[in-house]
Amino acid sequence: MLKLKNINTFYGKIQALKDVCMEISQGEIITLIGANGAGKTTTLMSISRIIPPRSGDITFMDKSINEMSPDKIVSCGIIQVPEGRRIFPILTVSENLDMGAFLRKDKSGIKKDLEYIFDLFPILAQRRHQPGGNLSGGEQQMLAISRALMARPKLLLLDEPSLGLAPLVVKRIFETIIKINTEHKTTIFLVEQNANLALKTAHRGYVMENGAITLSDTADNLLNNEAVKSAYLGI
């Protein structure tokens, strides 16, 4: 579904991604794990073309997306929930959700999806008229994922959804991620520092170090891999 071939991304003179190659198939949950500053967020930002790669090819559903602007990427169905949630603080909860559906024109479909989301996270329905900035961290993460769902993603990119959340909320968020994947067959690309949780959720995983992919295997194998265990799982 999504193929990254020899992606090189730079911040000025500093190379953040080195020849990154990845492949994500339809319906999978893929995770990318790695330490702080390994280049995980940059990988997602390169796919969304917020930080366009300097070289390499990205194809999505057999179509090159190399020359597209970020809004065109969204219209292809690649939707990102960035790190830190990035809720529009002064827009209300329902306006934030409207923004998620910005490129859609099917009013009845949008309404149906909104009902689905309020069913999934009833707290958002209760707070729909409040500014997004007033929500708690966990509620903001729910809103951020919901906002992305409003775009009907084909591929959902999630950047550190567990960051700064209470364990119970994290559990809830990850259950939702699995639910989205099984119910809607949405392909999910999950970037996480919490490697244990990520590998237990995902089907396959990649390990990133200093901007390069060093390992790739099924999630189960990575969980049992000695190097991964000592570096990321703390066992």
56: which DSSP letter? E
In the list 84, 118, 210, 229, the residue contacting other proteins (rule: CB under 8 A) is: 84
Q: Are 40 and 161 in contact (CB under 8 A)?
A: no
Stretch that binds other proteins, among 7-15, 93-101, 169-177, 198-206 (CB under 8 A): 93-101
Of the CA atoms within 13 Å of residue 201, those in its CB half-sphere come to 32
Stretch that binds other proteins, among 35-43, 53-61, 89-97, 169-177 (CB under 8 A): 89-97
Nearer to other proteins, 42 or 48 (CB): 48
Binding of other proteins by 82 (CB under 8 A): yes
Binding of other proteins by 53 (CB under 8 A): no
The pair of three-digit structure tokens given for residue 69, joined into one six-digit string: 């602007």
Binding of other proteins by 14 (CB under 8 A): no
Strand partners, 21: none
Q: How far is the CB of 135 from other proteins (least distance, A)?
A: 7
Of the CA atoms within 13 Å of residue 176, those in its CB half-sphere come to 24
Q: Helices marked H in the chain — which ranges?
A: 40-47, 70-76, 93-100, 107-120, 122-126, 137-149, 167-184, 195-201, 219-224, 226-228
Binding of other proteins by 100 (CB under 8 A): yes
Nearer to other proteins, 109 or 164 (CB): 164
Q: How far is the CB of 75 from other proteins (least distance, A)?
A: 6
Q: What angle do CA 112, 176, 45 make, to 5 degrees?
A: 90
The pair of three-digit structure tokens given for residue 114, joined into one six-digit string: 């909104």
Q: How far is the CB of 131 from other proteins (least distance, A)?
A: 8
Tell me which residues touch other proteins (CB under 8 A).
48, 50, 69-71, 74-75, 79-80, 82, 84, 86, 88-91, 95, 98-100, 102-103, 133-137, 140, 147, 151, 164
